Chain A
């Protein structure tokens, strides 16, 4: 799959966590809870931010709606979303390795 990564990267921390949470199908509230737990409380997503992220990510075909019960929409990652998340994680991993191995600044 060829994706124009430059268009999306770097992802904001919230967006990266939202994508990661959507590895399984979840609705809005589920995403918020999962992100807060996963991030050990460092990332709390506000409802305005989440709604905006859902519509942007859906428009870019990075996530897809799999269910709409009452007024709650359930989303999950698309193949494109997975590829983007993978590339983002790869870059963060490089940063992490550099951060941990370089001792001069610590």
Chain B
């Protein structure tokens, strides 16, 4: 927010615990690598009788208010890293922040500890997206956070295809769909959700920003998640925090089209037991080598081999229908698929060693499509 020159200098006092909690939460949006110095800072400003703290790296922003006694109105940007380091070690008690008039410095005092730190001009801080009154909708948080936790890991980290670094969120007709893919696997979950009338959404939101939303969800539960949809931004409000995320332009892959119509083979196994076996065998699938699954009637054998390191093998009883097959998967991708399944039994459907496999709980509400590794021999 471009802030007009403050009429006075910022000064406020609040308990250390309050300050530390808010700043550490907001500080997660501080840009660590930006070449723009001010993005490494946290904005502190008075706003309607409270103090607002905000940070952004231009992809996402976080804002929250500090419940404080205000002695002077104003706004200032304090370098984030040093501010967080300070509040972390302050002794218990009241902390006073005071902008020093005529100087671009701020004093921070708490008990007998006192600091003076250089600051930046708040007028240089970018304007952050905010939700106008009446623009926000209330959602039940549980389905949103559960769905996000299920698909989140499948998003890509490769910046060369930006749309895949996002998670597709669809809200319509009391259904929530989220989908994520890095082009090697695709995770799709659909959940019932009670939507306020008039709310529809079809947006791709950076997975990194949604990870931060998920962190908000991990804290104490509010009864509702606030959502505001703007042309270029999505704004989330939860537990006193506001997070805005840039929407990603571009066409998300048509996930329904990628899902094969039919499969040739099906395995059913205990999710936890299979997970244990995979973890044990995967130890020797190093340097991007494949976890090899050999399936035949009643049995799954898992193998891995890394040149110059060694090999591992383990078999387990499973229920299997279809012709015997050997197929290779990236062990990490495979495990993440298993871990996304929210039931005791996991179903793996296959076509052939070069076509995608599908991991699910047997229902149509969640599916995880995983492309094989083409085996050398």
The yes or no verdict on A and B being binding partners is no
